[in-house]
Amino acid sequence: MQKNTIISIIISTTIIGGALYFVSEKPIVSDGDDVTQSQNVEVRDGVQYVTVTAQGGYSPRLSVIQSNLPTKLIVKTNKTYDCSASLVVRSARFKKILQPTGEEVIDLDTPKSGEIIQGVCGMGMYSFQIKAS
Amino acid sequence: MKTITFHVTGTHCNSCKILIEDILNEQIGIERANVNLKQEMVSFETTLDDSQHKLAEILTEKVLRNGYSFSVGKKTKEKKDSEVIWQALPIGLIFLAMFFILQKSDILNFGIGGTVTPITSFVIGLIASVSSCLAVVGGLVLSLSATVSQDDISDTKPMFLFHGGRLIAFALFGGVLGAIGGAIGVSFTFGAILGLIASLVMIVLGLNLVGVFERNAITLPSGVFNFFRKLEHKTIAPFIVGVGTFFLPCGFTQSMQIAALSSGSFVSGMFIMFTFALGTLPMLALLSFGSASFAHSKYAPLFFKSAGVVVIGLGVFVLLAGLAGLGIISPLFNV
């Protein structure tokens, strides 16, 4: 019995440890290497557009944008029926269930340097961050 | 009239006291049954002339199907119980791990194109029932069914009522969404709070299934369990819980609600939501009726404890995710 208990504890801790390793949020970025802005960001007519795709989660998980520019977030959905369609961006006071396929433009105002904008799905399982540098 | 005292085994919660007392008091010739949970003793007054051993045998027959038994002398408590939990823990965790690996893999992320028809919403329902939505609705179904089965293994009526309530609510609310459009505006905060309540129910029932309350390590006021008993056995309660699942936070459900909203008519909205619920039914029915059939088998103790581990895990996940969704804590997971 003693032996079974020990085996059980070992198996259990391995599973829990493994699960935490895969599922938990990894620190996405260190401060040093985020000087360049991300690929999904473009500036048109003095307005900065950052595009995030919502389908089975958000990608990219982290976008780096320039600070002190009027910024709009474009969330693209493509046949999205899962949780990522119900989007909450708290700092922009945005709460909406997105159309399955389409684009949603969200005004982010003018982010200051170091500001982090966080988007999360209604159930809180998926999230993304936009960081102003 | 003489007073008789028996040892009782199988009492796992405060509600057992009420159940055993009710059953005993129903018997002819038995009065004032009283169960002492701490000492695992039952005493009652009787006019019957049978010997104590004979009485213990007869009365055990009445309560055996609920998992209790009476004896004149104290039975040596089986050590089995504490071993079962050590088997149940890894089994439960393996199921949890498989569930999260399934979410991590992109299997469930294929898009379904075009406008939502009853057929596509049925398929979306099928997918939703194995997705992270399962963490809320599935966890709730598993915890409630396992608890019902643990109390009374032959009682499947609450399960039919639950699934019936769910199907009817989805059809009806879907129709209303289609007809009025936005009348029952699906509030994020309301849904999230319901989700948190569901997660707490799951954690409490999970702990109960695992048997934490059994050893009197933690005792909840018996009012709490009376409340759950009512929830499980009163005719209307499982039905209402089924109806309530319409409002539980689940991305798929919300998307379907939007689809029903924009469908423009009562009938089309009703069909979209109804077929969606129908799509989730096979998996949910498997969970609830699977619980019932496991409860009949000799693996029942192992099943209840494993189910408890799974339910606690899902409950904690839903709780943390729900708090993150409300912006109270920062997101911990990205499943």
- A8, closest residue in chain B (CA to CA): B86
Question: Which H/E stretch holds residue A121?
Answer: strand A116-121
pLDDT value at position A25? 55
Answer yes or no: is pLDDT of A33 > 50. Answer: no
| Least confidently predicted of A31-45, A52-66, B129-143 | A31-45
Answer yes or no: is pLDDT of B109 > 70. Answer: no
In B270-317, DSSP assigns E strands to: none
pLDDT value at position B167? 92
Answer yes or no: is pLDDT of B47 > 60. Answer: yes
A85 with B324: Cβ contact below 8 A: no
Q: How many Å lie between the alpha carbon of B39 and the closest alpha carbon of chain A?
A: 26
pLDDT value at position A52? 92
pLDDT value at position B183? 47
B333 with A11: Cβ contact below 8 A: no
**Rounded CA separation B216/B236 (Å):** 31
* Stretch A117-128: mean pLDDT: 83
Chain A residue numbers touching B81 (CB-CB < 8 A): none
**Contact in structure between B134 and B284 (CB atoms under 8 Å):** no
A125 with B132: Cβ contact below 8 A: yes
What's the pLDDT band for A73 if we cut at 50, 70, 90?
A: very high
**Distance, CA of B47 to chain centre:** 40
A123 with B108: Cβ contact below 8 A: no
A122 with B249: Cβ contact below 8 A: yes
Answer yes or no: is pLDDT of B35 > 60. Answer: yes
The closest CB to that of B331, out of A25, A79, A99, belongs to: A25
Answer yes or no: is pLDDT of B216 > 70. Answer: no
Q: Does B251 touch chain A (CB under 8 A)?
A: yes
Task: Check whether the bond before B158 is cis (ω within 30° of 0).
Answer: no
- B125, closest residue in chain A (CA to CA): A81
What's the pLDDT band for B106 if we cut at 50, 70, 90?
A: low
The closest CB to that of B97, out of A19, A97, A125, belongs to: A19
**pLDDT digit string (tens) for B50-62?**
777 787 888 888 7
* Stretch A61-86: mean pLDDT: 85
What is the complex's ipTM, to 2 decimals? Answer: 0.71
Q: How many Å lie between the alpha carbon of B226 and the closest alpha carbon of chain A?
A: 30
Q: Rounded to 5, what percent of chain A is helix, strand, coil? A: 20, 40, 40
**pLDDT digit string (tens) for B146-203?**
877 776 656 677 888 888 999 999 898 888 888 876 545 556 777 778 788 888 888 8
* Stretch B296-322: mean pLDDT: 83
Chain A residue numbers touching B331 (CB-CB < 8 A): 25, 118, 120, 124-127
Mean pLDDT of the residues in chain B:
77
pLDDT value at position B12? 64
**Rounded CA separation B96/B92 (Å):** 6
* Stretch B80-86: mean pLDDT: 69
Separation of first and last alpha carbons in chain A? 58
Chain B residue numbers touching A5 (CB-CB < 8 A): 83, 86
**pLDDT digit string (tens) for B225-258?**
666 665 555 667 778 888 888 887 777 887 788 7
Q: Which two tokens stand for residue B275?
A: 């077929």
Q: Which two tokens stand for residue B204?
A: 């409490």
Q: Does B258 touch chain A (CB under 8 A)?
A: yes
pLDDT exceeding 70 applies to what percent of chain B? 80
Question: B75 in helix, strand or coil?
Answer: coil
For the whole model, what pTM was predicted? 0.68
pLDDT value at position B69? 80
Chain B residue numbers touching A129 (CB-CB < 8 A): none
| Least confidently predicted of A107-116, B70-79, B185-194, B274-283 | B70-79
**Rounded CA separation B33/B251 (Å):** 50
Q: Does A25 touch chain B (CB under 8 A)?
A: yes
pLDDT value at position A74? 92
The closest CB to that of B111, out of A16, A79, A122, belongs to: A79
What's the pLDDT band for B127 if we cut at 50, 70, 90?
A: confident
B256 with A120: Cβ contact below 8 A: no
Compute how many other C-beta atoms are within 10 angstroms of the C-beta atom of residue B152: 17
Chain B residue numbers touching A6 (CB-CB < 8 A): none
